[in-house]
Structure 1
Amino acid sequence: MRSRLFGCHRSCTRKPQLPKHKMPPKSPPKKSASSTKSSGKPPKKPPSAKLSKAEKEKLQKEEEERKLKEEEEARKKAEEEERERLEKERIEREERERLEREEHERHDMEMADLNAVLDNVDSAINSQEEQRRANAKWERYMKCDGSPDPTVTQDINTYMSLWREDKDNSEIKTVLQDSRQLLALIGELEFLMSDTPEGELSESDLGRYRQTIRDLQELLSYKLDEATVDMLKKATAEADIESGNLQKVSKLDDIIVMLWANLNKNPRFKSFEFPGEGFTFELPKPLATADVGIRVIKTAFDHLSPHCRTFYPRKKKVDKSAAPEEEEEKKEEEDTKDGEEGEKEGEDEEKPLDADDEDAKSVASGRKSTTSAAGSTREKEEGENEGKEGEEKGEAEEGEEKEGEGEDKKPTTAEAEEEEELLELDEDVIDLRQFSPLGGVMYMELLQLPPQPVTARGWSIVEVVDENLRRIPYPGEPEDLKKLGATLTLATPAEEKPVAKEASQAQMLLEGPPKDGAAKEGAEGEGEQPAQPEGEAAPPAPVQPTYITPPVGVTIKLPSTVAFYEEPQPARWSWSGKHWRLDGFTDIKYDEENKTLSFKTNTFGLLTVIQDSHLNMPFQSWEIRPRGNNAALFTIIAAIVELEIEIKDDKCCLSQPEDTPELDHLRKKWMAPKDLVKALRAAGVNIFPEPDSSKFVSMTKKDEEAEMLTYRCMAMTLPAFAFSWSKWNAEAGEDRIVMQAAEHLEDEPVNEDDWCCYVQSVRRAKKLKINEFSEEFSVDHAEGSELRSNMYHMLTDSASEKARERIQAANFRFLHCAGELIRATRLFTYS
């Protein structure tokens, strides 16, 4: 029953089965005619079929015709391209020739126009300066304040004699008050010598002014010594209650006198700091028990460095023997250059686009030929000692010339002579062309105390001694130090580090005489006489005792008005050599956070702190842009610091950086460009190269004539144009000056898209096709621009009417101030 049910169920649900049969095989799809045509290839014949000879020849002929057709088309295309290239070159050549011809026609006229503009500014400035000097001279003549005229010998001699003989006013306060007038007289003479145009002061007047300055400096030193003696005589009465020693500080303006007298003679004395003056000294034990005093005079001025032989730039001299030959060579070069110029007039097609290259090179080569035999001469020092040194050097040079007679000698170049001069200097001697003393000078001296008054039974007894200030040389003779009560330590032979012969004598005293064998060996090795027997041996020479003079510790608080961008170095003055030296210091430590410099020295004397003068060179970039009428903003990003200098009329001031407290005393202080240069250098920020700075810093050598012409043109167009540094200046060569310029009439930063590159050479100026973002440098001029003889006409001719009006209406004082500041930085050479 169940099977039926299930079977019925299956029969009802099973699908009907179709009869099984085989399907026919699928035939491959046939290619349509359209697909065959689209492929572009003839249908392949079955492999059994072969091409006939006629068919092969036909196919080969068709292939050759196709190749010939392609070659003909390529030839026609190349010919067309060549015709286009030649046509383009012809158009460019004709355009270039037209521009050069036009520039050549108006070159003399444009240069005459530029010289007239510059002469007007120079004459106006010269007239103003002459009037200022005349007014100052009249005001000095009419001055009735009792101060003498330092230029009148009789007046200044009377002033110095009266002050030297005045013994009643020897107090330190009175001396400092009187020194204010003396320093003003020195400053007046220095300003007079620097402000007077070259040639207006005779050599005799200059020598007389320099001698007057030295006499005034000597008088100031004499009066300070006199006041110091007066204070030391009263040391006991003015001693400090706690320490029992004299501790006195007197200061006025640029002079600070610190005096300490060892009245207590406490052997446990370690160090003393003058409160508020940032000067700490640590005496060694022998001096802590001696009748000595310490005087420190800090001055904000430096009267010593001008006496160094390395203070002034080394002057170059021309070898007279080589001068005639160079003149002949120069004439020949000029003749050949004239001939070449005549030939080049007919060869304009082969002349390069930058036509001023050859002119610039010829000018540069002519200028180099006149300076190639230039030599350097040592700066003559003043005084009798310097004259003797000059005579000795002259005799030595004459001796060298005599020794070299008969030999073929080439003229010595300036570089070789300067190197020989530098080799004569000791390695510890400071070259003031490379380094600068900063923060003034410190006179630290060890003094002998005069006898102090003794009070007994109502009487004050004082020993009368010499009134002069007695300085103690340190290290000095042990007998002199013992007289002061100093307890010196005897040095051992090992500490003395004597020579070999002295060491053997000391060893004989300590260990006994050497053995006979050793004595014989030593005698034979030294080539001396044979050793004598013991009975006949001479007694050894007595060894002189040697005492140790330990160093003095000094800690200086660096001035708050000087920025130090590297670890400063202490230096001491050498009276014999008249120069600063680096030796004599140990344990030098610089605390940058507290701005203190500590060291140990074995000598007393004159100290200063030096820093490299070229830390901020070369510059990374610069920009100068106008800020309205007769105003501009000058930005220089130097190697370490970024500065902003504002220019307004004939004054300028430092406005940035604001995060350098050492420059707070200069910020927003308007002054003349010369005064700003001097103030920034004194503050440790030197962005003003000297003529010989190229020896100490990498630079981009540029043609001096083209460089100075560019500076003048920049200043004349600054009222309406902004200028900036260009990276192509370093790649343009010596004869080209490359910069960025843009017309700018608003007091806001210049838009980057407004800058254009310009080039100035000795011959002409032009606008370049490249910009600051181009891949490579090119001297091609910009399309639509013209060639001009100078940047002044290049910019003014393309300027707007408003820009021209602003340039013409500019004040000549502003133009001169801007030009003087730009020339002082030498932007194109040191950036």
Structure 2
Amino acid sequence: MESKKKEKERLERERLEREAAEAIEKQKQYEAEMELRAVQLLESGKIIAFYDKVIFSYHQDHKLLREWAVFTACTNLPDFKLNEINSYMTNWEVNLINPTLQNVFAFSPEILQLIEELKEFLLFPLETVSVETIKQIGMIYHEFKEKQQEYLDRSTYDIIRDLTKYFDPEQGIFDMTESIEAITFSIYGNIFAQPELIGHEYEKLKFKFKIPESIVELRGIYRLLKTEYDHYSDSSNSFFAPGVNNALKRSIEGWEKKKAESRCQRAELHSPEVPEDEKPQTKIEDGSKSTNGSPDKTTENLNRGESTKGSKAPGPGDSDDDNLDSQYRKLAKDLEDLEIMSSPMRGRARKRANRKRDERAVDESSEIEDAEGEGVEGKPIGDEEDAEKSRKKEEDDSKPGEDERDRESKQPGEKDAEDDDGRASTKQEGSGSGSDEETSKSKSASRGRSPEKKEKSKSKSKSTSESRSRSKSKKQSTSDIKKEVKVKKKSKSPEPRQKTEAELAKERERTEKAQFIPKLVKYELNLRNYSILGGVFHFNWIEIPPQPKDRGHWMLHMIEPDQNLEEIIFAADYVPPTQEMQEAKKTPEEMEREAKKQEEELQKLVLLDLKVPRTALWFEPPIPVLWDPVRRFWSTDGFYDIRFNEDQLHLTLRTSKFGIIGLGHNRYFKSKELKQLILFVGILRAATTIKNQHIIYCIQIISRIFSNLPYQSFELKPAGKNRCVFSLMAAMTAIEFTFENELVCVSSLQNVSNSDVVEASVLNKYMRPRHLIKALRYHGLDVFPELDSYAYVDGVLLKHIETEEHMYQCMAVLSPSYNFHWSRWNLLAGRERMVFQMRERLGTTTPGNYQMILNTPAKCSLIACTEVSPNFSEEPIENSQYHADLLHLAMTVASDDAKNVMREASPHFIETVRILVTSVRPVSFS
């Protein structure tokens, strides 16, 4: 036994020594890797810094060339200098003092281009520009936007102030349409308010409306102003991610503050103070003097009291103000009495106050009589009556009445509140009726009370306190028993089930995502999750201004002082069905009656029928929203009976209001079922040789109503010198980008219906990456998620941000000679593990097999795992060395030809690849 014990101890000692030696060896290896990591990252940083330096100098030269090109082109647009922008705005305002629609249309293209450039400047300001200059440019940006809309409204007024130019006197119809590239202006009016004309169609915009019977016979102009731009969304708080504080957001806050100050100044101008000599003065009546000709003591004391409080010396009219103040105090007291009597709690307090006041008055009168009797006869008068009164009062107090029982049945906090109310009401009554004199009399009378009365009052107070203490002790004992019973019941209940690790992880994910979601009010559209596509519809009901009168040889025009549009406010009296009414079980007869009633209610709304703009790709039904100018957000309130035909892009809806209407579109993906399908198809694609079109067809059938995130796969491959192709299989479409030097274009767009307008706009059109991103977002093809997009997409895990961005930089440097591809192991690898495939690819030579890459914040390695392996393994391949990042790993295993191709690549080409791949973020969202 002892030998076995010694052998066991020896084995345990050897195991501990071996583990300690392994730990020491791992620590040494880790320290050596960290030293090597610092050296390798320094080498990679030098390569990346070289490209950054070239790009920075290029931007500086490009800025000078652009300024020279603008100068030689002699365009009207100013440079981004405050004096030039202000001069341009002044010139614009001078030319549009009397704005006509033709003049506004002539200036609009330049103004809209300048507004976009100012917005781009605020989103990406130059480091050389001062903070104050950026602030002033932000104010100018918002002023340009509001001035543009103001001139469109004033041009509308200029047209409708004289309807004879476009008016058909036989039909009583006013109809006109004018348009330029970015703005379509249409006006319709039923001038004679003919009841049979209940709607109209703006043919150019394919926009119909039908008004309810309640407003058919009301005169007005219906204006439809369709703009291809949206100057409202970037004024909303939800347009920016939580925590973002860029120049554009700061400019919104400054502009709102400036508008509030200007409104206050206008209010002061419209309400000037009345001069002192014009204020009404009232003479003092004769009744305010006493019989001997001196002023009334009450008025004199009141004036003296006001002067002692630090107020100004009495002037003319002050006595009149005092009379008004006394009347106001009396009125306030009466209102307070009514308020007290209106509620039962305050009514009881009022009764107690009245009862105390009556008892005090009785005691004072009896005490005065006692004092008078003692002074006349030498003995007290009415002692027997006082004794009988005190005896009755003691009996009444010993039996708690209704008020006493009510007070005892309440909580201590409620008792204190009632007592406070009672005391307050008593004080207010005393202050309004000379209570100071009464209290002084009662104090003097109480000093002269007999010892018998004092003993009776003491015995009465003792009896009442004892009865109250007994009742309180009983209630406390019953409440303690109830609490013990409740505690026992709670102890018998089973303990809550402990949450699993998966449930805790899900809660942590929800908590983390909640940090990225802005706080919204009811009906507010979250512009981090949705975007406004297809422009904006200004659909307004406008009042007809005074028209010119024909007086034979001359025309009479009435000029209004404020020549502004007056919108007619319309709000339909519509009651939508509640959720309980819809879920309740009903007979067929009841359902039929309910349907008829609902149809009658819907007739109270304005019916809109329109073709949604084909300039955007609608992957799901649009969400109609109305702009709230006061709270500055898009609201979903007021829209009912929404129907959308996806094939014909036809939308019908009913609205309860006129105003600025937009069409919201979901930017991201929210379906778990589609994510599971994508995983299944990805695994099937890796294991079999199924055709791509079959996969796309399956995806398209099930994900017909969803957007483009998450991605199914991605691939970045070289296509010649300073050329490469980036293919992205999104949830709804397959898109292919082609890079050439410093430009990029969309070379292929598949599986998208009604895309002819979009393809004509962006397909094979080379442009800079930021301009392409902006154009694709405008057309509804948003495959450029931001950091907070992770909160709106289910089934993805945001990777380590710094490591991921450095990895994209390395991919861009290696893109001339390496091919990168998606891996199915990436999704479940975790936050700090990025898994993808890589292989060398040069020219027309047949590429080799893919190798699996595992990239973490600490290192980048080739792992012994393939796409068809049954399980994922992090084990590196044999005889592999340590590599700090992807760039150092690729340069270690690359051939000489691949290295030469990378050296000859243009820095502008590498920067273009980096910007677009970083904007797509394929590793985090696939």
Q: Decide: shared fold, TM above 0.5.
A: yes
After TM superposition, the score normalised by the length of structure 1 is 0.65
**Residue 825, structure 1, aligned to residue 755, structure 2:** no
The change in CA–CA distance for 1:99 and 1:794 in structure 2 (over 3 A counts) is farther
Q: Secondary structure at the match of 1:215?
A: helix
The change in CA–CA distance for 1:449 and 1:104 in structure 2 (over 3 A counts) is closer
Aligned-pair identity in percent equals 25
- State which of 854, 863, 867 in structure 2 corresponds to 1:772: 867
**Residue 283, structure 1, aligned to residue 380, structure 2:** no
The change in CA–CA distance for 1:148 and 1:688 in structure 2 (over 3 A counts) is closer
Per the TM alignment, residue 286 of structure 1 is displaced from its structure 2 partner at its CA by 3.9
Counterpart amino acid of 2:647?
Answer: E
- Indicate the residue corresponding to 1:274 in structure 2: 202
Per the TM alignment, residue 746 of structure 1 is displaced from its structure 2 partner at its CA by 3.2
**Residue 126, structure 1, aligned to residue 62, structure 2:** no
- State which of 235, 247, 268 in structure 1 corresponds to 2:175: 247
For the Cα contact (< 8 Å) 2:539–2:660, is it kept in 1? yes
**Residue 674, structure 1, aligned to residue 770, structure 2:** yes
* Alignment partners' CA distance in 1, 2:253 and 2:871: 52
Number of equivalenced pairs: 592
* Alignment partners' CA distance in 1, 2:550 and 2:839: 84
- Indicate the residue corresponding to 1:700 in structure 2: 797
The change in CA–CA distance for 1:569 and 1:142 in structure 2 (over 3 A counts) is same
Counterpart amino acid of 1:697?
Answer: V
Return 605-614 or 724-733, whichever deviates more: 724-733
* Alignment partners' CA distance in 2, 1:163 and 1:210: 18
- State which of 682, 688, 706 in structure 1 corresponds to 2:784: 688
**Deviations 1:784-803 (CA, angstroms, capped at 9, x unpaired):** 54332221122222222221
The change in CA–CA distance for 1:223 and 1:733 in structure 2 (over 3 A counts) is closer
- State which of 42, 46, 64 in structure 2 corresponds to 1:116: 46
**Residue 727, structure 1, aligned to residue 824, structure 2:** yes
Q: How does 1:163-202 map to 2 (within 5 A)?
A: 163-166=92-95, 170-197=99-126, 199-202=127-130
- State which of 312, 316, 329 in structure 1 corresponds to 2:240: 312
Q: How does 1:14-29 map to 2 (within 5 A)?
A: none
**Deviations 1:330-381 (CA, angstroms, capped at 9, x unpaired):** xxxxxxxxxxxxxxxxxxxxxxxxxxxxxxxxxxxxxxxxxxxxxxx99973
- Indicate the residue corresponding to 2:505 in structure 1: none
Q: Secondary structure at the match of 2:229?
A: coil
- State which of 714, 719, 733 in structure 2 corresponds to 1:622: 714
Per the TM alignment, residue 122 of structure 1 is displaced from its structure 2 partner at its CA by 0.7
**Deviations 1:63-118 (CA, angstroms, capped at 9, x unpaired):** xxxxxxxxxxxxxxxxxxxxxxxxxx9xx999999998986675444322211110
In structure 2, the gaps of 5 or more residues are: 1-18, 262-507, 579-600, 669-706
- Indicate the residue corresponding to 1:793 in structure 2: 888
Counterpart amino acid of 2:42?
Answer: A
Q: Secondary structure at the match of 1:189?
A: helix
* Alignment partners' CA distance in 2, 1:472 and 1:281: 18
Q: How does 1:124-523 map to 2 (within 5 A)?
A: 124-140=54-70, 144-149=74-79, 151-153=81-83, 155-166=84-95, 170-197=99-126, 199-240=127-168, 243-315=171-243, 381-384=253-256, 425-455=520-550, 457=552, 459-466=554-561, 468-475=563-570
Q: Secondary structure at the match of 2:825?
A: helix
Per the TM alignment, residue 720 of structure 1 is displaced from its structure 2 partner at its CA by 0.7
* Alignment partners' CA distance in 2, 1:126 and 1:743: 30
* Alignment partners' CA distance in 2, 1:447 and 1:472: 4
* Alignment partners' CA distance in 2, 1:185 and 1:430: 28
- Indicate the residue corresponding to 2:356 in structure 1: none
- State which of 801, 804, 809 in structure 2 corresponds to 1:712: 809
Q: Secondary structure at the match of 1:729?
A: coil
The change in CA–CA distance for 1:224 and 1:794 in structure 2 (over 3 A counts) is same
- Indicate the residue corresponding to 1:645 in structure 2: 737
The change in CA–CA distance for 1:682 and 1:127 in structure 2 (over 3 A counts) is same
Counterpart amino acid of 1:177?
Answer: A
Q: How does 1:597-636 map to 2 (within 5 A)?
A: 597-614=651-668, 615-636=707-728
Q: Secondary structure at the match of 1:208?
A: helix
The change in CA–CA distance for 1:820 and 1:800 in structure 2 (over 3 A counts) is same
**Residue 590, structure 1, aligned to residue 644, structure 2:** yes
Counterpart amino acid of 1:269?
Answer: L
The change in CA–CA distance for 1:223 and 1:781 in structure 2 (over 3 A counts) is same
Per the TM alignment, residue 254 of structure 1 is displaced from its structure 2 partner at its CA by 1.0
Per the TM alignment, residue 253 of structure 1 is displaced from its structure 2 partner at its CA by 2.0
- Indicate the residue corresponding to 1:554 in structure 2: 608
For the Cα contact (< 8 Å) 1:251–1:257, is it kept in 2? yes
- State which of 829, 837, 840 in structure 2 corresponds to 1:743: 840
* Alignment partners' CA distance in 2, 1:768 and 1:280: 62
For the Cα contact (< 8 Å) 1:284–1:552, is it kept in 2? yes
For the Cα contact (< 8 Å) 1:700–1:828, is it kept in 2? no
**Deviations 1:476-516 (CA, angstroms, capped at 9, x unpaired):** 7xxxxxxxxxxx9xx99x9999xxxxxxxxxxxxxxxxxxx
The change in CA–CA distance for 1:637 and 1:747 in structure 2 (over 3 A counts) is farther
Counterpart amino acid of 1:677?
Answer: I
Per the TM alignment, residue 714 of structure 1 is displaced from its structure 2 partner at its CA by 1.0
**Residue 763, structure 1, aligned to residue 855, structure 2:** no
The change in CA–CA distance for 1:579 and 1:806 in structure 2 (over 3 A counts) is same
**Deviations 1:34-58 (CA, angstroms, capped at 9, x unpaired):** xxxxxxxxxxxxxxxxxxxxxxxxx
In structure 1, the gaps of 5 or more residues are: 1-88, 318-376, 390-412, 477-487, 498-546
Per the TM alignment, residue 316 of structure 1 is displaced from its structure 2 partner at its CA by 7.2
**Deviations 1:689-745 (CA, angstroms, capped at 9, x unpaired):** 111111111322322232122111111111111001111112333222111011111
* Alignment partners' CA distance in 1, 2:727 and 2:95: 53
Q: Secondary structure at the match of 2:167?
A: coil
* Alignment partners' CA distance in 2, 1:564 and 1:549: 29
The change in CA–CA distance for 1:637 and 1:414 in structure 2 (over 3 A counts) is closer
**Deviations 1:769-820 (CA, angstroms, capped at 9, x unpaired):** 1110101011122235433222112222222222121111111111111111
- How big is the alpha-carbon RMSD for the aligned residues of Structure 1 and Structure 2? 3.7
Counterpart amino acid of 2:742?
Answer: D
* Alignment partners' CA distance in 2, 1:423 and 1:162: 40
Counterpart amino acid of 2:182?
Answer: D
The change in CA–CA distance for 1:187 and 1:756 in structure 2 (over 3 A counts) is same
The change in CA–CA distance for 1:251 and 1:378 in structure 2 (over 3 A counts) is closer
* Alignment partners' CA distance in 1, 2:602 and 2:667: 38
The change in CA–CA distance for 1:292 and 1:421 in structure 2 (over 3 A counts) is farther
* Alignment partners' CA distance in 1, 2:513 and 2:895: 51
- Indicate the residue corresponding to 1:79 in structure 2: none
Per the TM alignment, residue 651 of structure 1 is displaced from its structure 2 partner at its CA by 0.8
Return 422-431 or 271-280, whichever deviates more: 422-431
- Indicate the residue corresponding to 2:374 in structure 1: none
For the Cα contact (< 8 Å) 1:651–1:671, is it kept in 2? yes
* Alignment partners' CA distance in 2, 1:560 and 1:668: 19
- Indicate the residue corresponding to 1:334 in structure 2: none
Per the TM alignment, residue 450 of structure 1 is displaced from its structure 2 partner at its CA by 2.2
For the Cα contact (< 8 Å) 2:163–2:174, is it kept in 1? yes
After TM superposition, the score normalised by the length of structure 2 is 0.59
* Alignment partners' CA distance in 1, 2:511 and 2:715: 37
For the Cα contact (< 8 Å) 1:731–1:777, is it kept in 2? no
**Deviations 1:516-548 (CA, angstroms, capped at 9, x unpaired):** xxxxxxxxxxxxxxxxxxxxxxxxxxxxxxx99
**Deviations 1:559-590 (CA, angstroms, capped at 9, x unpaired):** 11100111111000112211111011112111
* Alignment partners' CA distance in 1, 2:96 and 2:883: 73
